[in-house]
Amino acid sequence: MNAGEPSGVFGEATDTEARIARLERQVLRERMARIEAESIAEKGLRDLFESTQRISLLQKITDIANSSNEVNASIRAALEEICCTLGYDFGNGYLLDGEGRICACDTWFVQEPQDFARLVAVSRKAEFEVGNGLPGKVVAKGDIVWTRELYSITGCTRAKEAEACGLASACAFPVRVENEIVAVLEFFTRKPVHETKELSWLMNQIGTQLGRVMERQRAWSLLQTARHDTLTGLPNRAILADRAHAVFASLPADNTGMAMIVLDLNGFKAVNDRHGHHAGDKLLTLVAARLGRSVMSWQEHHRLGAKTLLARTGGDEFVLMLHGRFDSTSLNTLAETIHDCLAPPFRMGNTSVNVGASIGIATSNTVHESHDHLLRDADLAMYEAKKLGSRRTIMFTRELGTSVRRARQLEGEVRDAVSKGQFQLYYQPIFTLGPNTRICGFEALLRWNHPMRGLIGPDEFLSCAEDIGALSTIGEWVLQEACATIARMPPMAGAVESPFISVNIAPEQFLLPNFVKQVKSAVNGAGVAPSRLKIEITENVAIIDAAAAAEVLTEIRRWGVKASLDDFGTGYSSLSYLHQMPLDSLKIDKSFVASLHEPKNVNIIRAIVDLARDLELTVIAEGIETSEQARVLASFGCQQGQGFLFGKPRPQWNIFGLLAA
């Protein structure tokens, strides 16, 4: 405003302008405030939108984690959800191998495959050490890694490929099971990544959710390993027991409708020993496959609707459980199908091997109290089948159960008897026959002092001892005990020669490689003259291995121990064996003596005595019960005899008294 101008009019104009200016300022302020308010509202909306997106992403990942047991599938789904929601171009998954390496698991997601082909190719099989590359850095740091300069990361082998497709920003986060990092997920993006608190929180949550899948898979695979046979992939004993328990519980009141087939391979051990465990393992997988096929083919042919479960329950033992409709004929057919399927040789590399099977079958009935009981019966039948040789099937019966259970009990008791030293030797005197009858020796006869049943004779337990492999242990003890008795024997009144003790030797013991050593150590241990010990073998040793038997006999006789052929005439050996065997004496079996009144036996005994004389063998007759038998045998030229006429087998103290008398 100029000086001296009337203030009225000009003053009014000035006021108006000032008001306008004020209004303009006010409008401007309001506009600014509105813009600010709008932008606040917009940001709020955007934040709200982003946080809704984040929550929805987390929800989706949680759903994936809840519904999946498969690690790779859940990683793949998570990569896709994350890329699509957060706008990342490429996502890739890694698993830790437990040995410090981080290995890509060939699981990735890419928005535009054609643009990122090269990066995908190098990423899907990439491997990193801890500390190297993006995944390695995550593991080293134990937390999320963000970068806008990929190439700045140590050991980042893919920076070039990433850069070539315009990717410079990346982030990666760990997947954890509790505190352990088990996987890493990495993402590449063309847009610069923004590290925010919310995103970090989101990625941590996703890592935890995916970790749950991995934890479940670990537990599942542990369970699988524990319940499946890792070699053949068949269910193991635990699964069989579970299913069998359930099936047994579902049986009708009469317990019908369930069967167990136990199958044990014959010849498997030989494959293992000869071709190694690797071949053994391979054979088991081939057997399992053939068994599976034969069970299926049986099911197709016998449309009875029986359900089956094939399990491997031990080294070379398989069990097939049946449930539903079947009969004994169809079970036998099944067993035959199994035998047939195993019959062709198994080809393994350059060799082929043969194995057979022993099969035991048991069907459920009212006697069975549990599936276990049924399985035990099938097992028992299988062992019986095994005794008969390969390719045999035995169906369990109650009678079989009773006899086998008795035998098992006896086996246990015999084992006990061996460990507790419940055996004792009785001695039966052997006399010279003829006018000057006198004691010339004793036969040592084994007795078992059973704690409940008293004294038991060898016929009741020797074959059981043989079955459980205890015969040679017992035999060795018998040798030592007999020699100890020789050592303690008082001198016989008026005798020129000291009496011998005859010890029965089973073929299994006689043909042991260390038998000669056993004899020598028993004789030397007792400090007695070898000539006072006589061993009694039967014709069976000659049948098993005549040459080996002759060799052993030659050696122990050269050393001074005497040898006798027991039970002569009862075996199947031909007289030629007798000729080959270097022996001192032979014992005519008591069955010939008992029937001495029969002319046929008289002739046999005469022939034996004549033959023995030609071979310069002493003849001893067993089982002499009457003086008439003794007289006749002596008249035939039989030099020695033993039997109830002269005395029953008796304990050591008793023969010492006899000798002194």
In the complex, the residues that contact ligand C2E under the rule CB under 6 A are 428, 445-446, 457-459, 462, 475, 478, 504-506, 536, 566-567, 590, 622-625, 642-644, 649
Count of residues binding Mg ion (CB under 5 A)?
Answer: 5
**Between residues 308 and 502, which has the closer beta carbon with respect to Mg ion?**
502
Residue 568: CB minimum distance to Mg ion, A: 8
* Cβ burial 300-329 (10 Å sphere, 16+ → b, else e): eebeeebebbbbbbeebbbbbbbbeebeee
Q: What is the DSSP string of 343-390?
A: -SPEEETTEEE--EEEEEEEE--TT--SHHHHHHHHHHHHHHHHHT-S
Is there binding between residue 539 and Mg ion (CB under 5 A)?
Answer: no
**Between residues 136 and 499, which has the closer beta carbon with respect to ligand C2E?**
499
Phi, psi of 492 (to 5 degrees): -85, 135
**Between residues 428 and 639, which has the closer beta carbon with respect to ligand C2E?**
428
Question: Which segment (239-247, 431-439, 483-491, 614-622) binds Mg ion by CB under 5 A?
Answer: 614-622
Task: Count Cβ atoms below 10 Å from residue 4 Cβ, excluding itself.
Answer: 5
Q: Which of residues 158-177 bind Mg ion (CB under 5 A)?
A: none
Please pick, from the candidates 89, 476, 539, 567, the single residue that binds Mg ion as defined by CB under 5 A. 567
- With CB under 5 to 8 Å by kind, the binding choice for 457 among Mg ion, ligand C2E, none is ligand C2E
Type of residue found at 28? L
CA neighbours within 13 Å on the CB side: how many for 223?
Answer: 7
- With CB under 5 to 8 Å by kind, the binding choice for 458 among Mg ion, ligand C2E, none is ligand C2E
Distances (CA, A) of 297 to 291, 333, 340: 10, 11, 12
**Between residues 294 and 428, which has the closer beta carbon with respect to ligand C2E?**
428
Q: Report yes or no: 194 and 235 within 8 Å, Cβ to Cβ.
A: no
Residue 642: CB minimum distance to ligand C2E, A: 6
**Between residues 116 and 510, which has the closer beta carbon with respect to ligand C2E?**
510
Residue 567: CB minimum distance to Mg ion, A: 4
- With CB under 5 to 8 Å by kind, the binding choice for 625 among ligand C2E, Mg ion, none is ligand C2E
Question: Which segment (112-120, 245-253, 314-322, 564-572) binds Mg ion by CB under 5 A?
Answer: 564-572
Among residues 139, 149, 142, which one has the least CA distance to residue 170? 149
Name 75's Cβ contacts closer than 8 Å, sequence gap at least 6.
Answer: 93, 105, 107, 183, 185, 210
Is there binding between residue 413 and Mg ion (CB under 5 A)?
Answer: no
Query: Distance from CA of residue 224 to its chain's centroid?
Result: 16
- Residue 266's beta-bridge partner residues? 356
- Calculate the dihedral angle through the C-alpha atoms of 367, 371, 375, 376, rounding to the nearest 10 degrees: -60
Residue 590: CB minimum distance to Mg ion, A: 6
Cα(242)–Cα(232) distance, rounded to whole angstroms?
19
Is there binding between residue 536 and Mg ion (CB under 5 A)?
Answer: yes
**Between residues 90 and 442, which has the closer beta carbon with respect to Mg ion?**
442
**Between residues 280 and 643, which has the closer beta carbon with respect to ligand C2E?**
643
**Between residues 239 and 462, which has the closer beta carbon with respect to ligand C2E?**
462
**Between residues 338 and 444, which has the closer beta carbon with respect to ligand C2E?**
444
- With CB under 5 to 8 Å by kind, the binding choice for 446 among ligand C2E, Mg ion, none is ligand C2E
Among residues 207, 161, 171, 172, which one has the least CA distance to residue 192? 171
For ligand C2E, the nearest residue by Cβ is 643
Question: Which segment (50-58, 451-459, 527-535, 618-626) binds Mg ion by CB under 5 A?
Answer: 618-626
Question: Which segment (511-519, 621-629, 632-640, 645-653) binds Mg ion by CB under 5 A?
Answer: 621-629
Q: Report yes or no: 229 and 180 within 8 Å, Cβ to Cβ.
A: no
Task: Count Cβ atoms below 10 Å from residue 117 Cβ, excluding itself.
Answer: 12
- With CB under 5 to 8 Å by kind, the binding choice for 316 among Mg ion, ligand C2E, none is none
- In the complex, the residues that contact Mg ion under the rule CB under 5 A are 504, 536, 566-567, 622
